[in-house]
Structure 1
Amino acid sequence: MKNTVVAVVGPTAVGKTSLSIEIAKRFNGEVISGDSMQIYKQMDIGTAKVTKQEMGDVPHRMIDIKQADESFSVAEFQTSVRTSISDIIGENRLPIIAGGTGLYIQAALFEYNFAEEARDASYQKIIEQRINEYGIDFVYKQLQKADPEQAQRIHPNNIRRVIRALEVYERTGKTMSEHHEQQQPNSPYKPILIGLEMERELLYKRINNRVDVMMEEGLLEEVHSFYERGLEHSQSMKAIGYKEFIPYFKGEQSLQESVELLKRNSRRFAKRQFTWFKNKMDVTWYKISPEQKDEKFAIILENLAGKLTEK
């Protein structure tokens, strides 16, 4: 019999953190972060990392496990999360994944095979040499021609992912998008996926307000501390909430322009998150609003109680 794992998914700023904590309190659970950036130590404000006060007595995992100069892959996330799930189940507690990084959560919950996509260090050097000789735009155009769907998801400045996508295509003859589509939907668990959604204009307003609060809490200083450490090109600094301020530090745009860019990128990211979960995973969706949050959370908890007792 498969063990149950609950996942709370949805776009940024919709309320996933607070719901996951309520579920953990009600059903003796532990929360596993399903966010690809909250793994980094000291990157707290820009990732909207759950605070100790918000956690209360609920244990959280997959937070603050990497230094900002370290890389992290989906395969590594899958292994780490599955270890956490086993540990939590071993303690007779309910594992609850909460986050908005769709591919990471999908990989953790379902049979996502990375064997065919193993890295080739020698190939990476070849692509890096190509970039040095012809520039990233030249290599990015190669990716656009080979795998336009993946190219649309990857910013040209994210050299690591550009190299990765090209490597997969040239080594296997299949695009990374095709590899993703061929993954089997089978799961080693009994996953219960709860999705939170919100009226778009209201969600966008919450996102804009969240950015303003982040700035008040010291986001600029947080990002600058990593920039001063020479981490501009690290994987962690590619995250929304950090990369938008690099041009400001270089004197290439105003602070206001950086803040507005962050708000725009966050809104667009929320839209992509929602689309991913709608298209890729079998999620039970609940539309919420700040005014009806407690009432809707109560309904979700009751519905979940029924599902947890199903054989």
Structure 2
Amino acid sequence: MEKRKLVVIIGPTAVGKTKLSIDLAHRLNAEIISGDSMQIYKGMDIGTAKIKEEEMNGIRHHLLDIKYPDEDYSAAEFQATVRPLIDEIANQGKTPMIVGGTGLYIQSVLYDYQFTETPSDPAFRMKLESELQEKGELAIHQMLERVDPEAARKIHPNNSRRVIRALEIYHCTNKKMSDYIGNQKQELLYHTALIGLTMDREVLYNRINKRVDLMVKQGLVEEVKGLYDKGIRDTQAIQAIGYKELYDYFDGKISFDQAIDSLKQNSRRYAKRQLTWFRNKMDVEWFDMTPPIKYDEMENEIFTYIAGKLQF
């Protein structure tokens, strides 16, 4: 059977994916599937830089606001949702387009990625959770570094649930979580135009800093405080950058200025990790968005590449 045509736009936070995706979607008669692991959550709009309805400019978006912040979500669930959605959009005569920066989620859809059912050990997990309470997140993360350094590099110490899960997999199978990912076949399931946006690092970091300042002006603190006051804690959603830092501020662990500085620093580090992931894991056609590019010319160049690649 002929492979479906699929456009994918990836890149680090604040590089300009949203505007470009809307402009290209109009030219390609596309619908956009969010490839962001945190924009799925309701009530988490400012901190995740979620597109506003007026910015969509008539383009239909999928996988925004589909979960509550106290619910978990996974790459396996993303894969199971997105693959039928690609078929549905294509069957309507439109072009499916995935836009986002969550590498594992997007990779799980594009490639023949099998999610292996791994055994669990509730007693071992409870032991780790007890140690987490006693010794803290860093101590648990260091345990993972000793048995699976690659997974430890990819999982932030604050994301204790994933750290514990990786340790549990190793405990039960004597195999690393990274082995399950590394052994997957790198065969594209779709006729894919995979566009990567990049930018001079200092320029990108400056954009990230300014974006954080803008988020604060737009009401980020109030947004996070609303979740905090509802008692939502220790969930996957609250591990998101922009939320965990302000939770530390509300808990009295750090000052407000420290929280914002930490938010900016963590956002810059995340952008660096995103670029490293995409360059190492996917066959991407990169386009440099560093100013003073002429945006219209760059958009036209990217459109021409997609049209040629997918034979529109």
Bin of the TM-score, shorter chain as denominator length: over 0.9
2:190 is matched with: 189
CA distance in 1, matches of 2:253, 2:134: 26
CA distance in 2, matches of 1:265, 1:73: 22
Q: C-alpha deviations, 1:215-254, integer Å up to 9, x for none? A: 1100000011111111121110100111111121122222
1:165 is matched with: 166
Match of 1:293 among 262, 272, 295: 295
Q: How does 1:84-123 map to 2 (within 5 A)?
A: 84-117=85-118
2:202 is matched with: 201
TM-score, normalised relative to structure 2: 0.94
Shift of 1:288: 1.2
Opposite residue 12 of structure 1, the aligned amino acid is: T
1:33 is matched with: 34
Q: C-alpha deviations, 1:161-220, integer Å up to 9, x for none? A: 111101221222211112211111112211210000111111111111111110110000
Q: C-alpha deviations, 1:30-56, integer Å up to 9, x for none? A: 000000000000100000001111111
Q: How does 1:124-203 map to 2 (within 5 A)?
A: 124-129=125-130, 131=132, 136-203=137-204
Identity within the alignment, %? 50
Report the number of matched residues. Answer: 310
1:228 is matched with: 229
Give ranges in structure 2 of 5+ residues lacking alignment. none
Which secondary structure state, in structure 2, belongs to the residue aligned with residue 268 of structure 1?
helix
Stretch moving more, 231-240 or 250-259: 250-259
CA spacing shift, 1:138–1:271, aligned 2, 3 Å = closer
Q: C-alpha deviations, 1:25-81, integer Å up to 9, x for none? A: 101110000000000001000000011111111000011000011011110011111
Contact kept? 2:79, 2:108, Cα under 8 Å: yes
CA distance in 1, matches of 2:231, 2:195: 39
CA distance in 1, matches of 2:202, 2:12: 13
1:219 is matched with: 220
2:278 is matched with: 277
Contact kept? 2:70, 2:235, Cα under 8 Å: yes
Shift of 1:128: 3.0
TM-score, normalised relative to structure 1: 0.94
CA distance in 1, matches of 2:86, 2:4: 9
Which secondary structure state, in structure 1, belongs to the residue aligned with residue 286 of structure 2?
strand
CA RMSD of the aligned region, Å?
A: 1.8
Which secondary structure state, in structure 1, belongs to the residue aligned with residue 64 of structure 2?
coil
Q: How does 1:53-92 map to 2 (within 5 A)?
A: 53-92=54-93
Opposite residue 57 of structure 2, the aligned amino acid is: G
Opposite residue 114 of structure 1, the aligned amino acid is: F
Shift of 1:11: 0.6
Contact kept? 2:120, 2:172, Cα under 8 Å: no
Stretch moving more, 148-157 or 69-78: 148-157
